[in-house]
Amino acid sequence: MLEVVNLVKHYGKIRAVDGISFTVKPGEVFGFLGPNGAGKTTTIKVCTGLLKPTNGQVRVAGFDIASETVEAKRNLGYVPDNPFMYTKLTAREFLQFVGAVYLGKGHAGIDGRIDEVLAMVGLAERADELIESYSFGMKRKSTLCAAILHRPRVLLLDEPTAGLDALSARQAKDAFGQLARSGSAILLTTHIMEIAERLCDRVGIINNGKLIAVGTLDELKHQASAPGSTLEDVFLSLTETADDNARRDQT
């Protein structure tokens, strides 16, 4: 599971994340929504160990990301919004490197697992071509394969379906669902409300570094006093309310 406890992250005087706490249980898909600049990417970067928290704690599968970094990352899969690819490697070579890092060189069954994830996203036929010859969607699928190759217990997805066509997006969503059913905890950020509505068991909404709402879709609708409305309506209502409250506090 993923536990974020009272996380604070400052950049100088700017409080990018201001005391947020939430938990993503095994088998759950947790949607992390917020407007631009709300603190989503900063939160994710702290969860992946790229940034050190100013205060608070992040535990990945029971390991503290700050003090037990390698063990925590070994249980983590991460798909960034702007993924980096080694364009001078083939997808197979890239996954072999990733497999060696996560599972150890010469791990039994790694080749079979590579074939399995490549088939899952429809890349099996072009696995031995250089990544530089891939389209954007294919590169994204390669990144997804790398993130799920080692069957992580926690999976962080930052805009995972951006740039994918409908079939690829469906394949990706099926892969996420399969991982969740096998017990992985999935944290997903997206600007596409339909994906969050369809995939996520619970949703957390962050604004100006604070977590302003957490719960299932029905709970959020009740909180926003907007039963029957869409997640988009709930999101806009809650973020506007939070902005109004923040302006009132400042004055």
Partner 1 sequence: MSHLALLFNLHKQILINTYWRTRRQQIITTLFLCGAIALVLGGGYAIQRFLLTEALDFVPAVILFGFILFWIFATAFTESLPNLVPRFYRSPDLNYLLALPIPANRVVAIKFLVAQLQSVRGVLFLTLMLLVAVGWALGAPWYYYLLLLPAFQLFALIPAGLGLLLGMALLRVMTARTFVRLAGILTWLPFVGIWVIPEVIGEDLLPLIIRVLDFFAWLDPVWAELIPLVSAAMFFNAIAAGELIQAGRPLLMLLLVSGVTMAIILWLARHLFYQGWLITQSAPSKTVRAPRRRSAAPRRTIAHAPWYALVVSEWHFAVRNGEMRLAFLGLLAMFAALIFVLAEGIILGEEPAAAMVVLTIAAAILIGRSLSVVAWRSCLYPPRPSPSDQQHQ
Site residues (CB under 8 A) for partner 1? Answer: 11, 48-50, 52, 69-71, 73-74, 76, 78, 80, 83-84, 86-90, 93, 97-98, 100-102, 105, 130, 132, 135-137, 162-165
CB of 32 or CB of 94, closer to partner 1? 94
Q: How far apart are CA 34 and CA 15, in angstroms?
A: 16
Query: To the nearest whole angstrom, how small is the minimum distance from the Cβ of residue 195 to partner 1?
Result: 16
For residue 175, what are the CA distances in angstroms to 28, 144, 148, 183? 14, 9, 9, 13
Q: Which residues pair with 7 in a beta bridge?
A: 20
CB of 101 or CB of 236, closer to partner 1? 101
CB of 50 or CB of 119, closer to partner 1? 50
Query: To the nearest whole angstrom, how small is the minimum distance from the Cβ of residue 128 to partner 1?
Result: 11
Query: To the nearest whole angstrom, how small is the minimum distance from the Cβ of residue 222 to partner 1?
Result: 37
Query: To the nearest whole angstrom, how small is the minimum distance from the Cβ of residue 190 to partner 1?
Result: 16
Query: To the nearest whole angstrom, how small is the minimum distance from the Cβ of residue 111 to partner 1?
Result: 16
CB of 85 or CB of 217, closer to partner 1? 85
CB of 26 or CB of 83, closer to partner 1? 83
38 closest CA partner among 206, 214, 250: 206
